[in-house]
Amino acid sequence: MNLALALAASGLRAGVENYSGLICAHCGEVTPMYPAAAPEESVWTFLERIVSVPFSPQAAADADQGRPVMHTRAVPEQVTAFELLARRVRDRLAPPGQPRGAASD
């Protein structure tokens, strides 16, 4: 079964791209963690990418010490991604007929 058929059969329609890049602990530059997949081999050809979350060695170390990034807010790239994810999920969960959130992204 090819990827498109497998994803269609799974019922998945969207996802979160984790490890979308590596945030440099020294300068904050985000660089790719992995080479990009060919379009026919990428889940993002077939699924909506709700948000991309880059990896941060600092956030990982903080989390290992019991300090999640949404508490420390030490890695703005991750804070922004998680806040965007929360807004987008909230908007999707809005009851039918109810106005959706004012997310403008």
Of residues 29 through 48, those in contact with Zn ion by CB under 5 A are 29
Does residue 102 bind Zn ion (CB under 5 A)? no
- CA 28 → CA 16, 55, 74, 83, 96, distances in Å? 21, 11, 11, 19, 41
Residue placing its CB nearer to Zn ion in the complex, 46 or 54: 54
Does residue 24 bind Zn ion (CB under 5 A)? yes
- CA 9 → CA 6, 42, 82, 97, distances in Å? 5, 16, 28, 29
Q: Can you tell me which of 27, 36, 38, 102 binds Zn ion, judged by CB under 5 A? A: 27
Residue placing its CB nearer to Zn ion in the complex, 8 or 24: 24
| Maximum C-alpha span of the chain | 47
8 A C-beta contact, residue 101 and residue 91: yes
Span of 21-29, 34-42, 61-69, 72-80 interacting with Zn ion by CB under 5 A: 21-29
Footprint of Zn ion (CB under 5 A): 24, 26-27, 29
